[in-house]
Chains A and B, each alone.
Chain A
């Protein structure tokens, strides 16, 4: 899960505009006198985007604000029109590469970080009623799904799941591969 705050630039002819971002979680509102916390990496920056993933790390509503500055002058804060909660994050289907290595059904997945699980479903082509599922945590290399029957075609699809927000993505495209050897009819 990656979360970014983006905003439209402020233009001041002949001046270098810098931006600073602060965040406030529900804790800060309810227990810490509505305090705001600066994001160090997004203080005095010139780009109009800030990676807030590290700070939006709980499933509670957050408020965020940004202001522009030129020298010692600073604008008013611009804040979100409504709170942001990471449960609203959209999960895209995982990139998946399915290969047959002799009799072995292998799957390669992209690395998405510790928050993610991959739910991988596979079945013999034509036997969609008997689907196997494997849950894989953070994966870094090719995963061994199963040993296939000779000459048989197997199909695979996958989705991502994030426990922290109890949400999953849509399925990836189905990919099918065939084991080596002759099928036993």
Chain B
């Protein structure tokens, strides 16, 4: 009896410790991001700026450029991370993250279409992203019909659709005017360059609300992991839970994509990495979200500074790390699952 209670207490402490460390890392990198760059500032200057007692340039750089980028990276990272963990649980497969199975690529297609074809931005792009993501998910679902969400057929259908959509996205870029095409191209890699408050204020609240929904639905997600029959037996409306969770996961991936492009690797890795740190046991939604946020803010810091003054798209950084991670995952994974 003591053993089991002790386990529960240890688990809580472990989660708290991991969350504490991750939050500290995120804060440290956030402060570094505020201070450094082509226009370097001191801590004292930042303080003055944030209290509104500073010159216009400092104000512009910190409040107008760096702060929205930090907020965006935290929201997008958390959004992708939780979206990935949701689909990995629903499909019982570590490869089933929205960036691998074509959902984020679909969102990118939808967003690109609004930018290139309709010449829209802001809310319309977000809407296009959501529609594109849901359409891609519906297509993958139809392609894998009768086999259900679990099983490799679902993943393979998604990978195939993802490849087709990527080609189509490239085509959309070629249709755009030169200036737009360059921005679109960067965005397609996944980038936080030029993220502004106007985008953040539209999309970040949506992501936060969906993260809260994910938190509420998390126990149901964990029940679905032990199989539909048992979950129903334990009082879960399995079909409805699955649909709602898919909606939340898709929504998170779509809004995150609308804000920062189809950034790879975050959705795939945040869940397993958080689980690895909290282990043993399920990490819960908070460590997963914060892990996603930390991964992106660190990657974006690297993207901004590795080749300064050139800013490379953060998607290239995450893509490089993600490739290594995927190889490790595939070589360590034995046999099929689901």
A binds B: no
